[in-house]
Structure 1
Amino acid sequence: DYTTPLILAAAGGHTACVIELLEQGADPNARRVTGTTALFFAAQGGYVDVARILLKAGAPVDCSSVDGGTPLFVACQGGHEAMVSELLSHGANVHACMKDRATPLFIAAQNGHSLVLKLLLAAGANPDAARNDGATPLWIAAQMGHDHVVKILLHNGALIDAVRCDGATALFKAAHKGHSAVVHELLKFRPNLGPLANGETALHAAVMFGHLPIVKQLVAAGSDTTVANQDGYTPVQLARQQKFASIHQYLKEREQQPIGGGTPKRSAGPPANKSKTPVASKGAPAPSVPITG
């Protein structure tokens, strides 16, 4: 697989061995069949001293693997702040993309590394750069439940209602997954509470998967409990169908509360399905981005 002694030494963080091998003429640019170099593995392990030696010896900072991963990607994946800082100081491309268009910022957000995230944003990373499937760093952070990352991204201008290809927003995915702390952060930025392109609302997602605390958060934020989804079900009807008694009871009580002293709301029957957009996937999470070593 073309693994060299220098690559092995770098992967193990053996500084003295790396120095000796370079003095004996080892090539810092040598690549495995996966395209990875000694610097890639030093970055993956967080071995800053080794990385500095390799960079001084002429190792290319942005040499990528077959899937597009550079040393910066694996440093971000591992949460190695000092390594990320070192690579950026040597001109590592903060806008590099893997084959699925994931960026280093996406990888940092996916893995919940807030300090790395801040370094990348300070270096000019685009908070809204999306993968091929439309998922943004905010979307993936919401799915993974990283509320601290969500907060940073929102305060750096990330689009609150960016949608993945299935029509799901960050709020929809957080509601689906039951991440109450993420929902709390997202609601501060006035996300869309109404029907999305997938014919559902975030409230429907919370009801579908039995997340009563999030149902309460969304209702308190102004979600309409009478809106039907693309299958014709209001949240209360969906709760009954899914046999979530506590959610059904809560929503029924909310519907019966008069607004401004007026007539109590009534639950409408399932209307005709007018949506032409397929339902968003509610089951499997978005896969982690593999980075070949």
Structure 2
Amino acid sequence: MGISFGCSASGERLVSAARDGDLEEAQALLQCNPRLAKYSTFGARNSPLHFAAMQGHNEIVTLLLEHGVDVDTRKYCGQTALMQSCRHGHWEVVQTLILYNANVNKGDYLNGLTALHFAALNGHARCLRLLVADYVPSAPSFWGPRRNLSVPDQGPDCVSEETTSLRSSLYKLINKTADGGVTGLHMASLKGHAECVHLLLDLGADVSALTFQYDTTVDMIGAGSSPLHYAACGGSIQCCQMLLARGANHLAINCNGWIPQQVAQVWGRHWLDGLLAPRSQCPVQPLGLSPFLTSPLMSIIQIARECGLGDMSILASGMDSCAVCLEKICTVAAEGCGHELCTRCALYLCSNGTSMSDPAGAVPCPLCRQGIVSFRKLPSASPIKDLTRSSALGLCTTCTVDEPEALFPSEFSCRADKRSRVLPLSPVGRSVTCTGFSTMNLPCGKYDPALATPDQAEAQETRDHHPEWSLEGGSHEEAQIPASAPAPDRATTPRSLSESALRSKSPKRGWLQDFVAWKQKHNCSSKPTSS
């Protein structure tokens, strides 16, 4: 069963708001109960973060992450929000999750598929580019003529140890296998996604990776199949040409005894016979760098994590505005041309644009079209303060928190009265006081002779003849304390004893006791006598 925090009805409303993209509804619900951000539906365990990521609602994803949701939370089958967004191609959501340090190496519980497998299977090259952003440094030297990233550099022109470590980590990420030994290159080749195949080959995908026996539908191709076997099954000429250009063996035999040409014949891809024939004379063109290979992406993501997206308006800051959006201040500058942009525009340029081949992986500057290899931070980009997350338990709407002025200056408070605010915990104690409810004047019923019973009529007649027994001006049933009586010590005297002592000192009895005594004295009956 899923874990529910708070009211389940409010949690379902938040799930519906996340699924439908209702940002105002989600903000209102989280403002009332911040714990709803961690709500999960019963049974399926789908959190609002999964629904928002699946539908591509980036603003709601950001809102949930700001309220403390675990970015790597899993649903019932082990899929994370990053896998959901890569599966449906929502690259903006992928970008947000990467900024919040989502784990790209996690696999689901069903087949061990990672976010990279989902992106490659569905042909989302932009998502693939963002998934490897932390493994591709902003340096053209990273993309040399050598393609096999599993072999360390040797010789006088070897790169630094850090670059070698990044290449090794990138190779492991790109060639990570799911159940059956299937890699992302196998899936992209099978589906015919040429852009993903091109990018994966540039990132160091192994064209000789082989599958093994596993009870799935792809086993009909045969265990021991290479990505070229899968491309032949899919029937994509472009994918087969890319694999052959990067050294794929068109004579490799799988466990069924088939070469890629025979796989194409079994699956009816007869247009591949000339290209995959053992003695094929079809020329194979050399393959350049992928346009989705972006070098400055790592630098701008690191700046965004450190300083945020720089959403300060130019009206509030008085600084120079970004030349692209004309709304935000400039926080980063391009290495080389030196043109200044805001962090959000630079991140969009690297995530959504196409790169140049010279220098390798550079993106064109939107102002001068010169290649940008990396970005540097400007002095106007101040680091984000490590704000303490607010407590999940809030106060009621009538509670106030008294806090020391030295620890919490007035400029950090959003309202002067400081009501209904959840503040971070501190070793310094705070006094919490709840404002009492306002007094209510309840209307008292008046005596109506037409609706009165005989007993009520007789009692009213008695009160008319004896005004001192009236309840107006205060009830005589309550204790009347003389002015000369000393005040009791309630700190040492029990409440029951002090009240009984006060009642014993009362000079008058209650009007009801006096009325009963008067009736007994005059031998009056409550019922009228018939003549």
**Length-normalised TM-score, structure 1:** 0.72
Partner of 1:124: 101
Contact 2:91 / 2:126 at 8 angstroms: preserved in 1? yes
What displacement does 1:29 show? 3.4
Separation (CA, whole Å) in 2 of partners of 1:225 and 1:243:
18
Partner of 1:146: 124
Q: Does 1:47 align with 2:47?
A: no
Separation (CA, whole Å) in 1 of partners of 2:127 and 2:274:
34
Work out the number of aligned pairs and report it: 229
In structure 1, give the amino acid aligned to 2:236.
H
Separation (CA, whole Å) in 1 of partners of 2:13 and 2:205:
44
What displacement does 1:230 show? 1.4
Q: Which has the higher contact order (CA 8 A, sep 6+)?
A: 1
* Residues 175-184 or 238-247, more deviating: 238-247
After superposition, residues 105-254 of structure 1 pair within 5 angstroms as: 105-132=82-109, 133-157=111-135, 159-198=173-212, 199-252=224-277
* Residues 249-258 or 110-119, more deviating: 249-258
Q: Give the unaligned 5+ runs of structure 1.
A: 1-27, 259-293
In structure 2, give the amino acid aligned to 1:223.
A
In structure 2, give the amino acid aligned to 1:102.
Q
Distance 1:190 1:254, change over 3 A: farther
Q: Does 1:62 align with 2:38?
A: yes
- Secondary structure (helix, strand or coil) at the match of 1:37 reads helix
Separation (CA, whole Å) in 2 of partners of 1:214 and 1:189:
16
In structure 1, give the amino acid aligned to 2:251.
T
**Length-normalised TM-score, structure 2:** 0.41
What displacement does 1:171 show? 0.5
Distance 1:239 1:107, change over 3 A: closer
In structure 2, give the amino acid aligned to 1:239.
A
User: In the TM superposition, what whole-angstrom CA distance separates every residue of 1:31-52 from its partner, at most 9, and x where no partner exists?
Assistant: 26xx952211111122222112
Separation (CA, whole Å) in 1 of partners of 2:192 and 2:81:
26
Separation (CA, whole Å) in 1 of partners of 2:270 and 2:26:
57
Query: What's the % identity of the aligned pairs?
Result: 29
Contact 1:39 / 1:59 at 8 angstroms: preserved in 2? no
Separation (CA, whole Å) in 2 of partners of 1:112 and 1:148:
8
Whose radius of gyration is greater, 1 or 2? 2
- Secondary structure (helix, strand or coil) at the match of 2:129 reads helix
Separation (CA, whole Å) in 2 of partners of 1:156 and 1:235:
35
Distance 1:55 1:204, change over 3 A: same
Larger relative helix fraction? 1
Q: CA RMSD in A?
A: 2.2
Distance 1:195 1:121, change over 3 A: closer
What displacement does 1:239 show? 3.3
Separation (CA, whole Å) in 2 of partners of 1:231 and 1:97:
38
What displacement does 1:54 show? 1.0
User: In the TM superposition, what whole-angstrom CA distance separates every residue of 1:76-121 from its partner, at most 9, and x where no partner exists?
Assistant: 1111111111111111111111111100111111111111111111
Distance 1:69 1:240, change over 3 A: closer
Contact 2:87 / 2:122 at 8 angstroms: preserved in 1? yes
Q: Does 1:85 align with 2:62?
A: yes
Contact 1:68 / 1:99 at 8 angstroms: preserved in 2? yes
Contact 1:29 / 1:38 at 8 angstroms: preserved in 2? no
Q: Give the unaligned 5+ runs of structure 2.
A: 136-169, 213-223, 284-531
In structure 1, give the amino acid aligned to 2:70.
N
After superposition, residues 273-284 of structure 1 pair within 5 angstroms as: none
